Chain A
Amino acid sequence: MIHLKNLTKMFDKEYAVKNITFDLPPGKCTALLGPNGAGKTTTLKIIAGLMHPTSGQVDLSNGMRGDIRQYIGYLPQHPQFHNWMTGKEFLQYVARLSHIPYPESKKRAERLLERVGIADAKNRKISSYSGGMKQRLGIAQAMIHKPSVLLLDEPVSALDPIGRRDVLNLMEELKQEATLLYSTHILSDAEEASDEILLMHKGSIVESGSLQDVKERHQLDKITLRFEGDMQSYKEKVEAFPFVTHTDIQKKKLHVYVQNVPEARDVLLDLVNKEQWPLLFFEVGQTTLEDLFMKVVKEHAMADHL
């Protein structure tokens, strides 16, 4: 498979990617997470050979050798096509460029257009395609030569809810055929579609592992409350309890991170009852990937300031 070793990329003395090392797990779907500017796109472009690393290398194994391009399919964040071609012509063109014989290229183009759901528009000029149709065509061109690794840069971010659902389903199917590495900043998509996650921030990998492991490693129990009026006074009172690790207020909700859920729940509900607090919302749950994302990004932002 593909191994990245001490990969670094600098743009004018700024690190875009800083000394990252990881092995792409074969047969899995890996999500590359991170805020904008974390280095996700740069990493994907380096793997695809479109950018050259400042230092470090991309190694192949498992019978893959030579030109990496024959094993990968790549979808850029904003795919651009020859707009004077029709969708079918373009697919056939890239198929022929991937050394697929003419009759087979025709068959594959037809089948893929069907599969990504733009068969109706196959004989129309690409210039008349909508953004979503271009994104679908982009996925089709990445799959045309049946690559063993698919690199998708923000495959769903630009799509409407229906398109997003279609593409996520398609990715679910593709998992059976290829190793997937895709970048996203939409955490619910990552939670839904991926087996492994890599969390990047400012060019470095700050967290990685299987989705389950990462969640367990960072998961905290929390109780979410909402009251009428100003939350600040309630926050101070709740913080006094020994089982509370910390609290914060987001979107007018008070998040209380606790160590012992049954005890905390009982004590808090008792308190609300006794003091007659105007309760609007009460939830016992766990931190989500989004909380983890925010936490990691904040921690590193803090470290930068110190």
Chain B
Amino acid sequence: MQWLTIYKKECLESARNYRWVWVPLVFILFCIMDPLTTYYLPQILESTGGLPDGATFNIPTPPAPNVFMMSISQINTLGVLVIALITMGTIAGERKSGVAELILVKPVSYSAYVTAKWAAHVSLVLLSVFVGLIASWYYVQLLFGDVSFIHVMSSVAFYVLYIIFVISISLFMNTWTKIPGLVLFLTISVILVLNLITSIFSHLLEWSPTSIVSHLPALLRSGEVGQNLWMAGLITILSIIFLLFGAIQTLKRREIV
């Protein structure tokens, strides 16, 4: 009951801030930008002056799954930044302003406080990522040719695990400092470092949460979930549980004021 109270309050706060409107819109924008610019590239070149006379430049049309992957990589950069931005103050900000002093002096369970906030942000972000990718799929389908909806859905399902992982890192960082800006910095740094390590040791770290994206093109084309992807998914879920547990334990040991 307490959990639901906090969850509802978080959702209401997002509604009052119009987050339920602008976050999905931003994700739709990120997701359809690449399919549209890729398709209209010849026209865009034309209208900005075109190529010099006599020069011929043949732009091959990329295959449909590759265009869909462009949308995912947009979310991976800009989208992750937006996610870190909207989650950076959820606990840190409340502690900084002093509201947490009033909330956590009531008999509130720390696990309910952390997980309800986590769930509220997961709801908002997943909705946004989902509508964004559906929009991308629609344009890819329209402009580049067929991609199986089932394949798209299973890719989205795995990709979303990575997104939840990002939210969990931010929640975890929220319990370590009272400064929202620092939470943003730490979250982005951790993700950058993870990406770097995963790409350097890619043959060793095929199960890392950040490697999920690299498995997706194969899944989009064939629809088959490879063993490495299954393992990466499992490791991601375990990391999420570990991060949430860590966040709850950290907050318990912290002084609220």
- Bound complex: CA A137 to CA B211 (Å): 50
- Bound complex: CA A48 to CA B5 (Å): 22
Q: Is B224 an interface residue (CB 8 A)?
A: no
Interface flags, A130-147, vs B, CB<8A=1, else 0: 000000001001000100
Q: Is B104 an interface residue (CB 8 A)?
A: yes
Q: Is B190 an interface residue (CB 8 A)?
A: no
Set of chain A residues within 8 Å of B257, measured between Cβ atoms: 45, 50-51
Chain A nearest CB, measured from B106 CB (Å): 5
Residue of A nearest to B104 (CB): A50
Set of chain A residues within 8 Å of B6, measured between Cβ atoms: 97
Set of chain B residues within 8 Å of A81, measured between Cβ atoms: 99, 102
- Bound complex: CA A297 to CA B44 (Å): 79
Among the interface residues B9, B17, B99, B101, which one has the most CB atoms of the partner chain A within 10 A?
B101
How many residues on B have C-beta within 8 angstroms of the other chain's C-beta atoms?
Answer: 22
Q: List 27 A-B contacts (CB under 8 A).
A: A45-B257, A48-B105, A50-B101, A51-B255, A51-B256, A51-B257, A52-B255, A70-B107, A72-B105, A74-B102, A74-B105, A76-B98, A76-B101, A79-B98, A80-B99, A80-B101, A81-B99, A81-B102, A82-B13, A82-B99, A94-B102, A96-B2, A96-B5, A97-B5, A98-B106, A99-B1, A138-B102
Q: Is the CB of A67 within 8 A of B255?
A: no
Set of chain B residues within 8 Å of A93, measured between Cβ atoms: 5, 9
Residue from the list B1, B13, B106, B256 in contact with A94, Cβ < 8 A? B106
Q: Is A65 an interface residue (CB 8 A)?
A: no
Among the interface residues B1, B13, B99, B106, which one has the most CB atoms of the partner chain A within 10 A?
B106
Interface flags, B92-116, vs A, CB<8A=1, else 0: 0000011101111111100000000
Residue of A nearest to B6 (CB): A97
Q: Is A49 an interface residue (CB 8 A)?
A: yes
How many residues on A have C-beta within 8 angstroms of the other chain's C-beta atoms?
Answer: 27
Q: Is B203 an interface residue (CB 8 A)?
A: no
Q: Is the CB of B16 within 8 A of A99?
A: no
Set of chain A residues within 8 Å of B102, measured between Cβ atoms: 74, 76, 79-81, 94, 138, 141
Set of chain A residues within 8 Å of B256, measured between Cβ atoms: 50-51
Chain A residues in the interface with B (C-beta under 8 A): 45, 48-52, 67, 69-70, 72, 74, 76, 78-82, 84, 93-94, 96-99, 138, 141, 145
Residue from the list A51, A84, A138, A145 in contact with B17, Cβ < 8 A? A84
Q: Is the CB of A69 within 8 A of B106?
A: yes
- Bound complex: CA A50 to CA B6 (Å): 20
- Bound complex: CA A52 to CA B253 (Å): 9
Chain A nearest CB, measured from B22 CB (Å): 16
Set of chain A residues within 8 Å of B104, measured between Cβ atoms: 50
Q: Is the CB of A97 within 8 A of B255?
A: no
Set of chain A residues within 8 Å of B2, measured between Cβ atoms: 96-97, 99
Set of chain A residues within 8 Å of B97, measured between Cβ atoms: 80
- Bound complex: CA A48 to CA B157 (Å): 44
Set of chain B residues within 8 Å of A74, measured between Cβ atoms: 101-102, 105
Q: Is the CB of B108 within 8 A of A97?
A: yes
Interface majority SS on A: helix, strand, loop or mixed?
loop
Chain B nearest CB, measured from A10 CB (Å): 13
Residue from the list A45, A98, A138, A141 in contact with B107, Cβ < 8 A? A98
Residue of B nearest to A145 (CB): B106
Chain B nearest CB, measured from A60 CB (Å): 14
Chain A nearest CB, measured from B189 CB (Å): 28
Which chain B residues (1-19) contact chain A, with CB distance < 8 Å?
A: 1-2, 5-6, 9, 13, 16-17
Q: Is the CB of B103 within 8 A of A94?
A: yes
Closest 6 CB pairs of A and B: A80-B98, A96-B5, A70-B107, A97-B106, A69-B107, A74-B105
Residue of B nearest to A68 (CB): B107
Set of chain B residues within 8 Å of A96, measured between Cβ atoms: 1-2, 5
Residue of A nearest to B16 (CB): A84
Set of chain B residues within 8 Å of A70, measured between Cβ atoms: 107
Set of chain A residues within 8 Å of B17, measured between Cβ atoms: 84
Residue of A nearest to B112 (CB): A97
Among the interface residues A51, A97, A98, which one has the most CB atoms of the partner chain B within 10 A?
A97
Given contacts A69-B106, A81-B99, A84-B16, 17 further A-B contacts (CB under 8 A): A45-B257, A51-B256, A52-B255, A69-B105, A69-B107, A69-B108, A76-B98, A76-B102, A79-B101, A79-B102, A80-B102, A84-B13, A93-B5, A93-B9, A96-B2, A97-B107, A141-B102
- Bound complex: CA A67 to CA B16 (Å): 33
Residue of A nearest to B17 (CB): A84
Chain A nearest CB, measured from B2 CB (Å): 6
Residue of B nearest to A125 (CB): B16
Set of chain B residues within 8 Å of A80, measured between Cβ atoms: 97-99, 101-102
Chain A nearest CB, measured from B95 CB (Å): 10
Residue from the list B13, B98, B101, B107 in contact with A99, Cβ < 8 A? B107
Q: Is the CB of A67 within 8 A of B99?
A: no
